[in-house]
Amino acid sequence: MLLFVGLGNPGSKYARNRHNIGFMALDAIAREHNFPPFRKRFQGVATEGALNGARVILLQPQTYMNESGRAVAEAARFHKIALGDIVVFHDELDLPPGKLRVKTGGGNAGHNGLRSITAHMGNEYRRVRLGIGHPGDKNLVHTYVLNDFGKSEEAWVQALCDGVARNAAMLAKGDDPGFQNKLHLFMDAAGFADVKRPGEAKA
């Protein structure tokens, strides 16, 4: 049993925020692989299905970002899921828009959702870092992540989530490097090899 966790804030007010790209990625996986509708479970909403023959729970905590670890810990305890079988999808300021990296453990880079999960569970879980770019000034970060993606960003966001969904079975079988490489090629083929954040001049 694997636990895929998308990070975000609950409610329509936050649905298209940059901070909610983890939710968007899980929604895309559920659609692509015909998971049942999400229902209330584990202080969040969850659904269960199969990827590459493995049983996978998709969980979107509804606790707000800084308490995400409560929902993750409850789901992991209930299903006896090991820390290494938890995969967290989250927005990443330190990656350019449309880029993706997978890693296990490491720093939480000021991300309150990751910080909460680490506090409840430990640090050695897998992370799918979904690049949203940085506003260029740390004083602007809070506003930036809690603002919606702009119209000019919608195409690459959709492509990134689609690529994650189509190749999610590679994550389920533990092929993180292969998954990362597939996503790089997918975004390149889709024309999003060099996405600029809003307001950033094109090279």
Q: What is the pLDDT of residue 199?
A: 60
Report the percent of the chain where pLDDT is more than 90. 90
Q: What band does 203 get if pLDDT is binned at 50, 70 and 90?
A: very low
Q: What is the pLDDT of residue 201?
A: 47
Listed by start position, the domains of the chain span 2-189
Asked if residue 62 lies in contact with residue 71, where contact means CB atoms within 8 angstroms, the answer is yes
Rounded to two decimals, the pTM is 0.94
Residues with Cβ within 8 Å of 51's Cβ and at least 6 positions away in sequence, in order, are: 2, 29, 33, 168, 169, 171, 172
Query: Per residue in 92-133, pLDDT tens?
Result: 999 999 999 999 998 886 899 999 999 999 999 999 999 999
Residues with Cβ within 8 Å of 201's Cβ and at least 6 positions away in sequence, in order, are: none
Segment 136-152 mean pLDDT: 94
Packed helices 176-189 and 154-166: angle between N→C axes, nearest 10 degrees: 140
Can you tell me whether residue 127 is helix, strand or coil? strand
CATH architecture of 2-189: 3-Layer(aba) Sandwich (3.40)
The label of the residue with tokens 């729970």 reads 57
Asked if residue 191 lies in contact with residue 158, where contact means CB atoms within 8 angstroms, the answer is no
More confident residue, 199 or 88: 88
Question: Mean pLDDT in the chain?
Answer: 93
Nearest CA to 35 among 47, 26, 25, 51?
47
Query: Residues for the chain: how many in total?
Result: 203
The label of the residue with tokens 């940085």 reads 134
Say how many C-beta atoms besides its own lie within 10 A of residue 13's C-beta. Answer: 10
| Helices and strands per DSSP (H, E), number in the chain | 7, 7
Segment 17-24 mean pLDDT: 97
Asked if residue 82 lies in contact with residue 122, where contact means CB atoms within 8 angstroms, the answer is no
* Active-site pick, 19, 90, 111, 134: 19
Q: Is the torsion defined by CA of 2, 123, 121, 93 positive or negative?
A: negative
19 catalytic residue (yes or no) = yes
